Amino acid sequence: MPELPEVETTAALVRPHLEGRVITGARASWLRSLGGPAVAEFEASVVGSRIAEVTRRAKWVVLHLERAGRPAGSILCHLRMTGRLVVDAQPGHADREGAFERVSLGLRGPAGGTATLRFLDVRKFGRFRFVEDHLEALADLGPEPLGEEFTEEWLIRALKARKRVLKPLLLDQTFLAGLGNIYVDESLFQAGLHPERSAHQVPKDRARALHGAIQSTLRQAIEREGSSFDAFYRTPEGQPGSYQHLFRVYGREGKPCPTCGRPIKRLVVAQRGTHICTRCQPAPRAPGKRR
């Protein structure tokens, strides 16, 4: 579920509760969440380390660890579809959410106070794993859409170089890192591009429009702490985001296009539900049309 804006929000809200704290214990009730090693091995890797910094890379939350002031690996957390990070100041609650806890870390603050970081994940697709070298572990990711490397010129050239359908290319994290199904649909709509166009046939001015659309969509979504439209995504504080109120096409099948009023259509592109306005995002070629 969570895409870049939701992960950015998660990292920002969890950061002040984690930075400077020391990990005093680790528990895992769903082994696969750890992405490989046994619980004991994971525990040995992280217990005793201090969380020096919390950052985001693409859809990953990165907890940078230190021992005796020196770098000591990282915890990489990917929320996938239903993952959440929450910090409890009090001992864990055994409510409904507690049932979805997959991993947790005990924490001690510099002043002595304790807390618990919980990784909750209904569908269990998410990951909460330790790596020695986060740069190596995340080396295959493409540029950050809000980073310096992602310029209009970069996008123009990168699109031209790929012989792929546009939407799946934008979802490919090795091409551009952080977009998911929602923000791709929203960005393509805003740029007036049909999701099934060939990347290398996108004209320069459309590529520029797409660049702007991606950045403005993500920035506005971050401002609103992401999108929430069912029980799943909540910020670590338990609040829903509010960007869903600004969706122009995603999840709006049959509702009027905000630009031209035509009903939004839903199609499937690369196995993903896809939402477009057929007028504002003209198809690459009129399929089956001849005369």
Partner DNA sequence: CTATGGCCCTGGTTGC
Partner DNA sequence: TGCAACCAGGGCCATA
Q: What residues make contact with DNA under the rule CB under 7 A?
A: 1-3, 6, 32, 58-59, 78, 80-81, 99, 122-125, 162-165, 168-169, 171, 173, 180-182, 226-233, 270-273
- Closest to DNA by CB, 2 or 73: 2
- Among 3, 6, 101, 186, the one annotated catalytic: 3
Phi, psi values for residue 282, rounded to 5°: -60, 145
Active site (annotated) includes residue 256: no
* Angstrom distance (rounded) from CA 279 to CA 262: 7
Residue 45 or 181 with smaller CB distance to DNA = 181
DSSP structure string for 81-148: TTEEEEEESSSPP-SGGGGGEEEEEEEE-TTS-EEEEEEEESSS--EEEEES-HHHHTTT----TTST
2 part of the active site: yes
Tell me phi and psi for residue 245, to 5 degrees.
-70, -15
Instruction: Give me the least distance between CB of 81 and DNA, in Å please.
Output: 5
| Closer residue to DNA, CB minimum distance, 104 or 228 | 228
Element (H, E) at 183: helix 181-191
- In angstroms, what is the minimal distance from the CB of 138 to DNA? 10
Catalytic residue status for 3 = yes
Q: Provide the minimum distance between the beta carbon of 218 and DNA in the complex, in angstroms, as a whole number.
A: 13
Q: Which entry of 2, 5, 145, 195 is annotated as an active-site residue?
A: 2
Catalytic residue among 27, 160, 208, 272: 272
CB closer to DNA out of 147 and 273: 273
Token representation of residue 193: 């591009």
> Which one of the listed residues 21, 57, 59, 252 is annotated catalytic?
59
CA 226 from centroid of its chain's CA atoms:
10
Residue pair 16/237 in contact (Cβ under 8 Å)? The answer is no
Judged by beta carbon, residue 69 or residue 230, the one nearer DNA is: 230
The CB-side HSE value for 105 (13 A sphere, CA atoms) comes to: 31
Residue 157, classed as helix, strand or coil, is helix
Q: How far is the CB of 132 from DNA (least distance, A)?
A: 18
59 is catalytic: yes
The least distance separating DNA from the CB of residue 25, rounded to whole angstroms, comes to 24
Spatial distance between the Cα atoms of 193 and 181, rounded to a whole number of angstroms: 15
- Antiparallel, parallel or unpaired: β 60-67 and 265-269: unpaired
Instruction: Report in angstroms how near the CB of residue 272 gets to DNA at its nearest.
Output: 6
Would you tell me the crossing angle of helices 204-223 and 181-191 to the nearest 10 degrees?
130
What is the set of active-site residues? 2-3, 59, 272
